[in-house]
Copies of this chain bind each other. A is one copy, B any other.
Amino acid sequence: MAVFTSVSEAELIAWLGDYSLGQLLELQPIASGIENTNYFVTTGNGRFVLTLFEKLTADELPFYLNLMAHLARHGIPCPSPVASRRNQFLGSLNGKPACIATRLSGKSVTAPSEAQCAAIGAMLGQMHIAGQSFSQVMPNPRGAGWRAATAPQVRPFLDTDQAELFDSEIALHAQSGATRLPQGVIHADLFRDNVLLEGDRVGGLIDFYFACSDALLYDVAITANDWCMQHAEGKLDDARAQAFLRAYHAERPLTDVERCAWPSMLRLAALRFWLSRLYDLHLPRDGELINAHDPRHFERVLRNHIATAQAVWL
């Protein structure tokens, strides 16, 4: 259950007095998500999502809200934060930083088709291009510094075989050339559950709270590792991966340097989630146990990437 801070209709009606959204018609808690409290809100003006930020602070939030506004303004289907009468995206509700944004249509899928993988590939390319004119910068909070700090904390929980793989991958990417790749704003967490689909069409990209500035190809790899995966085996599905990459490439052509870096980026993207899942499993913060994912999935993905040294398919 994602409602950490409850909001009553009376509280919301009072809060909405600072917006130009019309009368409140419906308020409905959203049960998914582990970082924020979310409600569906319907007013006379349409359908919205109210978010109360449980961890991110009012100092950190403008990057994410301005990014979503920027992308929406460029026609990318993502939540568009609504400005208050004082022209601010960020408000405060029940003691938490809060924002109301447009609600998108569609639903997430668990077993995407080739056509759906192509659609998300194309949309990711669009998003990367639209992000090029966004001026704010946010170093990746799950980047090299985070890996270096986190690795020693989770290493004691690994067996010998795992530790060997872990050490070599951490060392490899500590000096990897990701900073030489084309950079920009990346979503950094565009898993299937963060995309709303309407049939084969992308209706919405959501949950931008891991977005940051990093190598665009890293975002491509993170997305492929989820969307194009045969999850039982932890191996990429060739047909879906090809459809995904070709569609991305048609929107933002990959450079030669990026093609060469593809196998390495797939491994880095797998390592990042292996590492964070190990951390969340073995060193949970209060109240986070419920949604801990199995780290072994990304260990398998990583081993398969190393075994296949997958070339880029275009």
Interface residues, chain A, with chain B CB atoms under 8 Å away: 19-23, 43-46, 48, 69, 72-77, 80, 82-87, 100, 102, 119, 122-123, 126-127, 129-130, 132-133, 201-202, 251
Note all chain B residues with C-beta closer than 8 A to A43: 75
Q: Is the CB of B86 within 8 A of A45?
A: no
Q: Which of A75, A80, A130, A251 has the most CB of B within 10 A?
A: A75
A265 CB to closest chain B CB (Å) equals 22
- Known A-B contacts A85-B132, A129-B85; the reply to A202 vs B44 at CB < 8 A is yes
Q: Is the CB of B44 within 8 A of A119?
A: yes
Q: Which of A48, A87, A119, A202 has the most CB of B within 10 A?
A: A87
5 contacting pairs across A/B (C-beta < 8 A): A20-B130, A44-B202, A72-B80, A74-B82, A87-B133
Note all chain B residues with C-beta closer than 8 A to A82: 73-75
Q: Is the CB of A85 within 8 A of B22?
A: no
Q: Is the CB of A80 within 8 A of B73?
A: yes
Q: Is the CB of A73 within 8 A of B83?
A: yes
The closest CB in chain B to the CB of A84 belongs to B74
A66 CB to closest chain B CB (Å) equals 12
CA A49 – CA B82 in complex, angstroms?
Answer: 22
Q: Is the CB of B129 within 8 A of A22?
A: no
CA A119 – CA B44 in complex, angstroms?
Answer: 8
CA A45 – CA B202 in complex, angstroms?
Answer: 7
With beta carbons under 8 angstroms apart, the residue of B22, B86, B130 that contacts A123 is B22
CA A274 – CA B45 in complex, angstroms?
Answer: 32
- Known A-B contacts A75-B46, A201-B44; the reply to A21 vs B133 at CB < 8 A is no
CA A119 – CA B22 in complex, angstroms?
Answer: 9
Note all chain B residues with C-beta closer than 8 A to A122: 22-23, 44
A179 CB to closest chain B CB (Å) equals 24
The closest CB in chain B to the CB of A16 belongs to B75
Q: Is the CB of B73 within 8 A of A69?
A: yes
The closest CB in chain B to the CB of A134 belongs to B87
With beta carbons under 8 angstroms apart, the residue of B45, B69, B74, B123 that contacts A75 is B45
CA A133 – CA B82 in complex, angstroms?
Answer: 13
- Known A-B contacts A85-B132, A133-B87; the reply to A126 vs B21 at CB < 8 A is yes
CA A72 – CA B21 in complex, angstroms?
Answer: 11
CA A126 – CA B21 in complex, angstroms?
Answer: 7
CA A129 – CA B23 in complex, angstroms?
Answer: 14
CA A76 – CA B43 in complex, angstroms?
Answer: 11
Note all chain B residues with C-beta closer than 8 A to A127: 20
CA A23 – CA B74 in complex, angstroms?
Answer: 14
